[in-house]
């Protein structure tokens, strides 16, 4: 590799790109990385980190109300200051950006601030400099996409929504994926009159159907206005800067902000890959093999840009796998994407790992389903009517737990531990033999004895 300026040139300093750069450098490789926007990528700057901070903020409204049942007397109504949340978030992101910069510097990775363009199999151009590399890694992630409708220019995307100048008292989200569901919950919790518009009959397609229905019911109880089987026909800006949104079912909504959360597409514009005829998947993502090589073997890709599950831990795992294969010469099996746990930070949260009931029935035929639907102990005094749902899917042939799902407070925190059990292929008998922690909601996962249905 000594004939090149670098052994690895990474395009994109998001979670996957930074991890790949650092781990490759740790093997002795000479590494450079280019980033034209911000260190840490989507997750740190306009994704999971600020979203989780805003989700925390949105829970306080309920916490203040529910505390009365436990003897706390607080001034009512509590006041929320959007600017404080927004500006404190900005400072935290700056801190994290600095950490990423120091990590790269400490790993002796050269950071170049600019959008790199691939010239050929071994050369890139960035800020006027042509650089050669034995391997080029594309880790640029995705970019928000907004469908076409009259007035679409008035819609925000998920890059914009965190830094609004003023707090929207009336808020509308278009979409049915996890980003849409999360932001509908967050702005509802912060005090907006929150609406979600989705063309399908129920949001969170691909998740377990019972979980989807339960989440819909809980969100409606909390005051989120759900509009299913309809879409946006047009948006008109009014003289007071509000937005008049006309739906395809004839309904009209007046809102202060509209968020389009209709998905992300690979951020490939301007990279020059189209001129190299690199093979794409049908959805426009880069096609890679089990070594993360594109149709030009010296050009690698990982993360959201390849169509992998759009999760930060997946990009991190891919980066480490790629480094071990290409820079440590390890012979590894193909990366396993089964049983990857995930969470949706709507209110209440969703945590899930493994197969949905529908997928398990299609794959195994004979299954057992165990559910626990209950009012958490906390709410016996809080006055809230929020409920929790826990669910296990078991392959009847071998008793193995093939899916675990939860809707409830801190579901993401709880499902992480359950994910280890599912990935380890533990059986329902293993769950039953585990002594629960009392009193917790989590103990329900090891005390469900009678199948709800088969």
**For the chain, which residues make up each domain, given as ranges?**
6-143+265-327, 152-262, 342-446
Q: How far apart are CA 75 and CA 18, in angstroms?
A: 46
Look at residue 178 in the predicted model and tell me its pLDDT.
Answer: 95
Average pLDDT over residues 4-25: 98
Active site residue 438: yes
Percentage of the residues of the chain whose pLDDT score is greater than 90: 98
State the residue for tokens 């926007």: 37
Percentage of the residues of the chain whose pLDDT score is greater than 70: 100
Cα→Cα distances 322→168, 308, 334, Å? 43, 14, 10
Averaged confidence pLDDT in the chain: 97
pLDDT > 80? residue 2: no
pLDDT > 80? residue 150: yes
Given a contact cutoff of 8 angstroms between Cβ atoms, the answer to whether 21 and 107 are in contact is yes
pTM of the model: 0.95
Look at residue 77 in the predicted model and tell me its pLDDT.
Answer: 82
414: enclosing H helix or E strand: helix 411-423
State the residue for tokens 């650089």: 131
Pick the CATH number of 342-446 from 3.30.390.30, 3.40.50.150, 3.40.920.10, 3.40.50.2300: 3.30.390.30
| CATH code of domain 152-262 | 3.50.50.60
Look at residue 1 in the predicted model and tell me its pLDDT.
Answer: 53
DSSP state for residue 436 in the 8-state scheme = P
Q: Are strands 170-174 and 257-260 parallel, antiparallel or unpaired?
A: parallel
Look at residue 386 in the predicted model and tell me its pLDDT.
Answer: 97
Give the model confidence (pLDDT) of 30-39 as tens digits.
999 999 999 9
CATH 3.40.630.10 is right for the domain spanning 6-143+265-327: no
Give the model confidence (pLDDT) of 80-112 as tens digits.
999 999 999 999 999 999 999 999 999 999 999
Query: Considering 122, 209, 321, 438, which one is annotated as catalytic?
Result: 438
3 state DSSP class of 376? coil
Given a contact cutoff of 8 angstroms between Cβ atoms, the answer to whether 114 and 70 are in contact is no
184: enclosing H helix or E strand: helix 178-190
Residues 6+ apart with CB under 8 A from 311: 340, 342
Fold matches, 152-262 and 342-446: no
Given a contact cutoff of 8 angstroms between Cβ atoms, the answer to whether 1 and 326 are in contact is no
Given a contact cutoff of 8 angstroms between Cβ atoms, the answer to whether 240 and 255 are in contact is no
Look at residue 75 in the predicted model and tell me its pLDDT.
Answer: 85
DSSP per-residue codes, 312-371: HHHHHHHHHHHHHHHHS----PPPP-TT--EEE-SSS-EEEEE--HHHHHHHHSSEEEEE
Look at residue 266 in the predicted model and tell me its pLDDT.
Answer: 95
pLDDT > 90? residue 292: yes
**H helices within 5-115, ranges in order?**
15-26, 41-46, 48-66, 82-106
Q: How far apart are CA 375 and CA 354, in angstroms?
A: 25
Given a contact cutoff of 8 angstroms between Cβ atoms, the answer to whether 355 and 211 are in contact is no
Q: Are strands 110-113 and 31-35 parallel, antiparallel or unpaired?
A: parallel
DSSP state for residue 5 in the 8-state scheme = S
Q: Which of 16, 42, 420, 39 is nearest to 265 (CA)?
A: 42
Look at residue 330 in the predicted model and tell me its pLDDT.
Answer: 93
Kindly report which listed range (84-88, 169-173, 330-334) carries the lowest average pLDDT score.
330-334
pLDDT > 60? residue 44: yes
Token digits of residue 291: 């070594």
Average pLDDT over residues 377-389: 96
Average pLDDT over residues 385-406: 98
> Does residue 348 have a cis peptide bond before it, meaning omega lies within 30 degrees of 0?
yes
pLDDT > 60? residue 305: yes
365 vs 319 pLDDT, higher one: 319
Token digits of residue 316: 């991190």
Q: How far apart are CA 435 and CA 72, in angstroms?
A: 34
pLDDT band for 76, please (50, 70, 90 cuts): confident
């Amino acid at each position: 590799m000594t004939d090149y300026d670098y052994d690895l040139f990474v395009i994109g300093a998001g979670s996957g790109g930074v991890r790949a750069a650092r781990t490759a450098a740790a093997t002795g490789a000479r590494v450079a990385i280019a980033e034209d926007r911000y260190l840490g990528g989507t997750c740190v700057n306009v994704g999971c980190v600020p979203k989780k901070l805003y989700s925390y903020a949105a829970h306080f409204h309920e916490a203040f109300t529910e505390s009365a049942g436990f003897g706390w007397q607080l001034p009512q109504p509590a006041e929320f200051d959007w600017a404080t949340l927004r500006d404190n978030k900005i400072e935290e992101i700056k801190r994290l950006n600095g950490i990423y910069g120091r990590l790269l510097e400490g790993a002796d990775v050269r950071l170049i601030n600019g959008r790199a363009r691939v010239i050929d199999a071994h050369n890139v151009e960035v800020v006027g400099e042509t650089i050669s590399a034995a391997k080029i890694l594309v880790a640029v992630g995705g970019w928000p996409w907004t469908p076409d409708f009259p007035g679409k220019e008035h819609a925000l995307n998920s890059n914009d929504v965190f830094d609004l100048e003023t707090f929207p008292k009336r808020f509308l989200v278009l979409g049915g994926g996890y980003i849409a569901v999360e932001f509908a919950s967050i702005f509802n919790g912060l005090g907006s009159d929150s609406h979600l518009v989705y063309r399908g009959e129920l949001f969170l397609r691909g998740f377990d159907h019972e979980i989807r229905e339960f989440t819909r019911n809980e969100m409606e109880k909390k005051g989120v206005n759900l509009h299913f089987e309809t879409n946006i026909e047009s948006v008109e800006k009014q003289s007071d800067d509000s937005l008049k949104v006309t739906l395809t079912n004839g309904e009209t909504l007046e809102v202060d902000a509209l968020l389009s959360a209709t998905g992300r597409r690979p951020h490939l514009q301007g990279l020059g890959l189209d001129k190299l005829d690199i093979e794409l998947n049908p959805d426009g993502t880069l096609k890679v093999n089990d070594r993360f090589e594109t149709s030009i073997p010296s050009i690698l890709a990982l993360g959201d840009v390849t169509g992998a599950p759009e999760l930060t831990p997946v990009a991190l795992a891919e980066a480490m796998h790629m480094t071990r294969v290409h820079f440590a010469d390890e012979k590894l099996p193909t990366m396993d994407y089964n049983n990857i746990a995930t969470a949706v930070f709507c209110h209440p949260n969703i945590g899930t790992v493994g197969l949905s009931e529908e997928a398990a029935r299609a794959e195994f035929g004979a299954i057992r389903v165990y559910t626990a639907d209950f009012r958490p102990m906390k709410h016996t005094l809080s006055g809230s009517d929020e409920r929790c749902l826990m669910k296990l899917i078991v392959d009847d042939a071998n008793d193995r737990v093939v899916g675990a799902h939860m809707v409830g407070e801190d579901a993401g925190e709880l499902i992480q531990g359950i994910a280890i059990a599912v990935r380890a292929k533990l059986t329902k008998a293993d769950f039953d033999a585990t002594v629960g922690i009392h009193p917790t909601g989590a103990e329900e996962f090891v005390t469900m004895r009678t199948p709800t249905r088969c």
